[in-house]
Structure 1
Amino acid sequence: MRSKPLLRVRKTGALMVAAVIAFVCAVPLAGAMWQLTPVLLIPVVVFVWAWRAGTDVYADELRVRALVGSTRVPWQRVSELAPDAGGQISALLDNGNVIRLTGVTSDNLPRVLAAGGQQIGHSDQPPS
């Protein structure tokens, strides 16, 4: 069995609260017509996704979790961590693939690197 992650980075808890509110609001709709009961599944799926999706940081790897399944990425395979325009962080791997790190933003990236025992690398090139 795998040890506990050093750090768990998840989506904001506001998504789970919104899913609970949506579920409660959908109950009267589903109660009015039994054909509408599948509408209740939408907030349930959103809640489970918000609870499960994220990035777990271990000393030797990152585990990016989705609604179903997860991807393990050893730190040795990560060439670069870079933000996109929205501030979300993606990992560029040594084989050229890019994996978006769910829940990791520019704001919490230093905590992710510290938990994984990684150092922030600096380019030898001057900024342009």
Structure 2
Amino acid sequence: MTRRATVRFRPHQAIMLAAVIGFVGSLPLASTRWYLLPILLVPLVIAIWAVRAGTDADDTGLRVRALLGQRRIPWSRVAELAADPRGRAVARLTDGDQVRLPAVRGTDLPRLVAASGQPLDDAPGAGPAQ
């Protein structure tokens, strides 16, 4: 059995550019007083989040990554993939929990289902094929 490639969903890279601009823009303020130096941490944390956060999907399951941790969810625990009213993707689990999938939009659900190796027609809540 061959393993499918991992499909990765990440936040838009413009966030990284905004973090760099925020860091450079906060330098004059942070350099005026020593107690203002922690202001530089805000754009730094945003940059780390932009690199780290996201959702990975392969034929074994989902890996939901955040700033400080990650969660592995096998496909057997996923009852449904759906989009919330704001267009963000959520995975409804067999135990009733809902997990928001970072960087995955409702329009990305067909790609997410394809990564599972399941036919799109058998996936409830995945929406119409594009």
TM-score of Structure 1 vs Structure 2, range by shorter chain: 0.7 to 0.9
Structure 1 residues 96 and 52, CA, compared in 2 at 3 Å: closer, same or farther?
Answer: same
Instruction: Give the secondary structure class of the aligned counterpart of 2:31.
Output: helix
Structure 1 residues 5 and 65, CA, compared in 2 at 3 Å: closer, same or farther?
Answer: farther
TM-score (norm 2): 0.86
Does the 8 Å contact 2:4/2:59 carry over to 1?
no
Counterpart for residue 33 of structure 2: 33
Counterpart for residue 72 of structure 2: 72
Structure 1 residues 112-123: aligned runs within 5 Å: 112-120=112-120, 121=123
Structure 1 residues 5-84: aligned runs within 5 Å: 6-84=6-84
1:94 partner amino acid: T
Instruction: Give the secondary structure class of the aligned counterpart of 1:108.
Output: helix
Does the 8 Å contact 2:49/2:67 carry over to 1?
yes
1:57 partner amino acid: A
Instruction: Give the secondary structure class of the aligned counterpart of 1:32.
Output: coil
1:34-84 CA distance string (max 9 Å, x none): 211100000000111111111011211100000011111001111101111
Identical pairs, percent: 47
Counterpart for residue 101 of structure 1: 101
Q: Which runs of 4+ in 1 moved over 2 A?
A: 118-123
> Cα RMSD over matched residues?
1.9
> Which segment drifts farther, 113-122 or 48-57?
113-122
1:74-104 CA distance string (max 9 Å, x none): 0111110111111101101111111111111
Q: 2-side partners of 1:115 and 1:69: how far apart?
A: 22
> Which segment drifts farther, 107-116 or 12-21?
107-116
TM-score (norm 1): 0.87
